Amino acid sequence: MNQNDIPQAIKSGKTILGIEFGSTRIKAVLIGEDHAPIASGSYEWENQYENGIWTYSLEDVWTGLQESYRKLNNEVFENYNIPLQTIGAIGFSGMMHGYMAFDKDENLLVPFRTWRNTITGQAAQELTDLFQFNIPQRWSIAHLHQAILNKESHINDISYLTTLAGYVHWKLTGQKVLGIGEASGVFPIDSQTNDYDAGKIELFNQRLAAENVSWKLQDILPKVLVAGDTAGILTEAGAKLLDPTGQLQAGIPLCPPEGDAGTGMVATNSVGERTGNVSAGTSVFAMIVLEQPLSKLYPEIDMVTTPAGKPVAMVHSNNCTSDLNAWVDLFQEFTQALGVEISESRLFEMLYTQGLAGDADAGGLLAYNYFAGEHITHLEAGRPLFVRTPESRFTLANFMRVHLFAALGALKIGLGIFDQEQVKIDRVLGHGGFFKTPEVGQKIMAAAMNVPVSVMETAGEGGAWGIALLAAYMLHKAANEPLEAYLSHKVFAGEQGTTIAPDPTDVAGFAAFMERYKKGLSIERAAVETLR
């Protein structure tokens, strides 16, 4: 959008607002008709560990929402001298899963239980066995079932169960709804009906009846909507909640509230079948859009959906770059001891690039990057390890290469299920710190996945931008225009980026490393058991 056109777009309400509640930051982004950001605002927040529960207070939710919007509004006024009074559409996104239960008077019955809590092991296992569908501990239905198993006193008072994004949307619009991607982390979805799986609802209701619970599950869950649906309008009370100054007008349409996984798919143009995205930083997860659901239950894989309802298989590994970062920090100490001045970013680039010069299989070296436990390899705790034989080719290049490989080792084991299921993947979009050094992360990921890996210039825009794009799609889509077509033709057309295809030598080298990795897991287990 031409800079001269932006003031008129703001004044006439031809902008879109997206706000995402992340784990450490609430971010607001305002975009124009060309989908490019115009202004942003953010608020830092942290979860609290209270009475054995990871939580955020409702006060922090509203303080953070208002503060991030206030900063965005101030940026708009400072840059364009126009107050933000109306907006074309709004969308809210947040951390998926968790547990927010309300009574008939809209009171929160117990403190918000976030996705981070691992207190639902019994419930998750029971529901996985009951549904023959993987139910991770962080899912809302696992939290609900665990509360029932614990015979918590609030159960019969539940009138509404939702997520963080669903809660904020409800309070601003009065609508008890969720986008289907967000809903897929609450309860399993049937991608044929784009609704909760009716058969599994009935199985759960039978459990409720056995426990003498007074309601049925379908009566307390939000309605499921798909991308492009209108999900209500900003009420007068909602406008005051978002903007206490009273400048923002009511009546603005909202898109369905979505989860951070869905907005990540949108922000990386990874919503079409046979596409996927990999987010690689402290942890790493791959999300692949399937042509059809997997043939059976795999505990290593979470099944969710795109914001349009297509089935998505997600492989999540707890560990990625933490051990790599620790080694770079060690080298930084060495340079300081030598009296050599080199910036951390330059050191990262130099060391990562060294990894490309190593032997294809990393010279027979072995490493495990487990700062934390790893469910894919069935380890409750982690011990970072570096192992070699006297015959290993111990060079700096191989040392860096093996740690780059190790960052993706557990992920690769999970991805191996896709080979068994003959899942076709045409391309993957990479984002996160692992890809910051040009080419290196892409080449290593392409070797691990054996598919082309792309990195786009907009990959860092994040989930607030992704939910703004979903609001724009609701507002501007043509009749019967699929989400993937809208994104490809109207948002990402001409997008600058780089794509690296897998090198057969690298693919073979990574495969050799993985054989070593799998055999050596007994070493990691021994370290966990021995080093306390």
Q: How many CA atoms lie within 13 A of 346 on its CB side?
A: 5
Q: Yes or no: say if 355 and 400 are a contact pair by the CB < 8 Å rule.
A: yes
Token pair listed for 176: 């008890």
pLDDT of residue 459: 61
- State how far the alpha carbon of 128 is from the alpha carbons of 106, 186, 527, in Å: 31, 14, 30
Residues 6+ apart with CB under 8 A from 525: 379
The Cα 523–Cα 196 span in angstroms is 43
> Which residue in 289, 267, 280, 320 sits closest to 456, CA to CA?
267
DSSP state at residue 255:
P
Domain ranges of the chain: 269-460+500-532
Q: Yes or no: say if 258 and 182 are a contact pair by the CB < 8 Å rule.
A: yes
pLDDT of residue 352: 97
- State how far the alpha carbon of 459 is from the alpha carbons of 25, 160, 317, 436, 466, in Å: 18, 35, 20, 11, 10
CATH code for the part of the protein at 269-460+500-532 = 3.30.420.40
> Which residue in 86, 59, 452, 450 sits closest to 249, CA to CA?
86
Q: Yes or no: say if 89 and 477 are a contact pair by the CB < 8 Å rule.
A: no
Token pair listed for 42: 């953010």
Give the dihedral sign, CA 85/91/93/97. positive
For the chain, 532 residues long, give each residue's pLDDT as a single digit of tens. 677 789 999 999 999 999 999 988 999 999 999 999 999 999 999 999 999 999 999 999 999 999 999 999 999 999 999 999 999 999 999 999 999 999 999 999 999 999 888 899 999 999 999 999 999 989 999 999 999 999 999 999 999 999 999 999 999 999 999 999 999 999 999 999 999 999 999 999 999 999 999 999 999 999 999 999 999 999 999 999 999 999 999 999 999 999 999 998 999 899 999 999 998 888 888 999 999 888 899 988 999 999 999 999 999 888 999 999 999 999 999 999 999 999 999 999 999 999 999 999 999 999 999 988 898 898 888 999 999 999 999 999 999 999 999 999 999 999 999 989 999 999 899 988 899 899 999 999 999 999 999 998 776 668 899 999 999 999 999 999 999 999 999 999 877 789 999 999 999 999 999 999 999 999 999 999 999 8
Token pair listed for 55: 């939580």
The Cα 142–Cα 155 span in angstroms is 14
Q: Yes or no: say if 6 and 39 are a contact pair by the CB < 8 Å rule.
A: no
pLDDT of residue 409: 97
Burial 449-484 (b: 16+ CB within 10 A, else e): bbbbbbbbebbebbbbbbbbbbbbbbbebeeeebbb
Residues 6+ apart with CB under 8 A from 102: 108, 109, 158, 159, 160, 161, 162
Q: Yes or no: say if 487 and 271 are a contact pair by the CB < 8 Å rule.
A: yes
DSSP state at residue 195:
E
Q: Yes or no: say if 205 and 214 are a contact pair by the CB < 8 Å rule.
A: no
pLDDT of residue 381: 87
Q: Yes or no: say if 349 and 499 are a contact pair by the CB < 8 Å rule.
A: no
CA 509 to chain CA centroid, Å, is 30
Task: Give the number of other Cβ atoms within 10 Å of residue 211's Cβ.
Answer: 13
The Cα 187–Cα 196 span in angstroms is 7
* Dihedral pair phi/psi, residue 46, rounded to 5°: -135, 145
Q: Mutual orientation of helices 396-406 and 322-338 as an angle, nearest 10°? A: 150
pLDDT of residue 494: 78
pLDDT of residue 118: 82
